[in-house]
Chain A
Amino acid sequence: MKTLVVAERKGSELRRVTLELAAKARELGEATIVEIAGERYSPMPFVSALAKKVESEKPDLVLLGATLNGRDLGARLAARLGRAYAADVTGLRAEGNAVEVDKPMYAGKVRAKLRVDLPAVVSVRPGALTLKGAADAPPQVENIEADTSAEKLTFVKLEGTATAAKRVSLSDARVIVSGGRGLKGPENWHLVEELADALGGAVGASRAVTDAGWRPNEEQVGQTGKTVTPDLYIALGISGAIQHLAGMTSSKVIVAVNKDPDADIFKIADYGVVADVFEFVPAFTEAVKKARAS
């Protein structure tokens, strides 16, 4: 099978999901990895450049990371090319003249297996495919220029949030520490942040917290926020509403800290601690530092 992988970079580094896709593409057969060079992602210039590449290379399958930009680009590309499209899949296998994909639906409440006939466009959830480490050589990436003649939008400005720069993003993070209403207020978020920093992880939040304006929307994990699959998810003072669980139950290891022993979050946690977050979290942050140092 001939596969075209659309690479994404964060800063100067290829995103981990690009390496995951490149490894999968090599496993499926002939792989080409392209990166669209442009100042910043914009749908029309990117789709236009990518569609030209697809028309010349004629890959059976176009793979993108199911990232913010990858999902948008994949959808518009599939419409331009009239190809079948599956978004945010968590597994993918060749099956004759089709691919069979695993796709969470209903915000993760259902796992579907779908047959998608080729040619197709598929976006794959970051972290869902395994990397074998050193065996996966860094891929050769071919650059194509964004087609700026297709642009109809004007970029005005970037408004940054203060917390953004220093931590890894939720979708890339292998460790996520999320806080809920149990933290009692935004002034206590240093507890979440210190633990996240001790683990080298990202900071998340429950919907109750982002709705209350304690934290920015982009940190929300759950049905109307981000769906995440880190190796370690730590829920602090989160009760475990079904909408929150939908966004994080696929995490490999889940830790829950909550005062209420009947909180639903404990039903899916691998490790639970029934405790007051204000007492437990500082002690745990220290213990993590020690455990990682030894």
Chain B
Amino acid sequence: MKILIPLKQVPDSTVRVKVAPDGKSVATEGITWSISPYDEYAIEMALERKDADPSTVVAVVAVGPARSRDALRQALAMGCDEASLVIADAAAPLAVARALAKVVEEAKPDLVLCGKQASDDDQGFVGPALAELLGWPHVATITKVAPTDGGVELWREVEGGHEVWKAPLPALATVHKSEKEPRYPSLPGIMKAKKKEIPERPISALGVDGSGPTWTVLSMEPPPTRGGGKILKDGDAKQIAEQLATALRDEAKVL
């Protein structure tokens, strides 16, 4: 089975994101970039398939700025077999999906796994949009994939449990979590990844122009700071518990 994972490079989730002086973007100076967390889960899920069946081929692709090469290198070091880069500096979301559809048509994977959303814009658009452009079925927010007769079974986390869906191949799924935490690159993995070629081409080489419906950022600001909270400390546990319950009922009015 061949599995393709489109990935996005985003500010690392442990980084404190700051709004740039223009008030319309995020300051990128000195930022640590990483593979978007849900894309990492998708990679881990694919590599778990490869652990179970070594004939599995796991490929990654990024449609984004040139710096995305580092994220692809990271994915190779985790154990992915192939990586390629499509350079697009400010492509509209639908154009990214269009470029990925071209990549899928060339690479002919059986299964495409996308992170359920990127942790920068938190949109969750590209996965379902890619399935739509390809005319493929998709299952959203899965936590498990298993091969079955003539397709795959996909576990989708829903309220109150998991729905299990069977999809014929080729199919696409967006990933909520992998069974294990994403693996760290091993030293031999890092050495091997360094030697691998990562072919690159501009988005225009795929016949896609980067335009599409999108939005205009009017402003960005940090979330309002909270604070000025009270620490309740007078009395024993029972007394504090009663003060808190009363405050929630009469002052905050949330009981």
Chain A residues positioned under 8 Å from B226 (CB to CB): 249, 254, 267-270
Binary interface encoding of chain A residues 215-257 relative to chain B, with 1 for a CB under 8 A from any of its CBs, else 0: 0011000011000000110000000001100000110111100
B252: min CB distance to chain A, Å: 5
Q: Answer whether residue B73 sits at the interface, using C-beta atoms and an 8 A cutoff.
A: no
Binary interface encoding of chain A residues 272-285 relative to chain B, with 1 for a CB under 8 A from any of its CBs, else 0: 11110001100110
B residues 114-151 in Cβ contact with A at 8 Å: 117, 119-125, 127-129, 131-133, 136-141, 143
A73: min CB distance to chain B, Å: 8
How far is B237's CA from A103's CA once the two chains are assembled, in angstroms? 40
Chain B residues positioned under 8 Å from A249 (CB to CB): 223, 226
Is there an interface contact between B129 and A75, defined as CB atoms closer than 8 Å?
yes
Q: Answer whether residue A44 sits at the interface, using C-beta atoms and an 8 A cutoff.
A: yes
Is there an interface contact between B153 and A175, defined as CB atoms closer than 8 Å?
no
Q: Answer whether residue A26 sits at the interface, using C-beta atoms and an 8 A cutoff.
A: no
Is there an interface contact between A290 and B245, defined as CB atoms closer than 8 Å?
yes
**Interface size (A, Cβ < 8 Å)?**
92
Binary interface encoding of chain A residues 149-168 relative to chain B, with 1 for a CB under 8 A from any of its CBs, else 0: 00111111111110011000
A280-B215 contact, Cβ under 8 Å, with A111-B223, A156-B164, A160-B161: no
Q: Answer whether residue A132 sits at the interface, using C-beta atoms and an 8 A cutoff.
A: no
Task: Across the interface, name the chain B residue whose C-beta is closest to A162.
Answer: B161
Q: Answer whether residue B21 sits at the interface, using C-beta atoms and an 8 A cutoff.
A: no
Binary interface encoding of chain A residues 121-156 relative to chain B, with 1 for a CB under 8 A from any of its CBs, else 0: 000000000000000000000000000000111111
Chain A residues positioned under 8 Å from B26 (CB to CB): 106, 110
Q: Which of A78, A154, A280 is B240 in contact with, Cβ under 8 Å?
A: A280
Once A and B bind, how many residue pairs between them come within 8 Å at the CB atom? 265
A280-B241 contact, Cβ under 8 Å, with A224-B38, A272-B230: yes
Chain A residues positioned under 8 Å from B233 (CB to CB): 273-274
A residues 1-17 in Cβ contact with B at 8 Å: 10
Is there an interface contact between B241 and A211, defined as CB atoms closer than 8 Å?
no
Is there an interface contact between A164 and B168, defined as CB atoms closer than 8 Å?
no
Q: Which of A72, A113, A175, A287 is B245 in contact with, Cβ under 8 Å?
A: A287
Chain A residues positioned under 8 Å from B117 (CB to CB): 87
A35: min CB distance to chain B, Å: 18
Task: Across the interface, name the chain B residue whose C-beta is closest to A44.
Answer: B137
Chain B residues positioned under 8 Å from A287 (CB to CB): 238, 241-242, 244-246
Is there an interface contact between A223 and B138, defined as CB atoms closer than 8 Å?
no
A46: min CB distance to chain B, Å: 11
Chain A residues positioned under 8 Å from B17 (CB to CB): 106, 109-110
Nearest 3 CB-CB pairings of A with B: A164-B160, A79-B129, A84-B213
Can you list 13 A-B pairs, Cβ within 8 angstroms, ordered by A? A43-B137, A43-B139, A72-B128, A87-B123, A107-B122, A108-B223, A117-B215, A153-B137, A224-B177, A261-B231, A268-B227, A275-B237, A284-B244
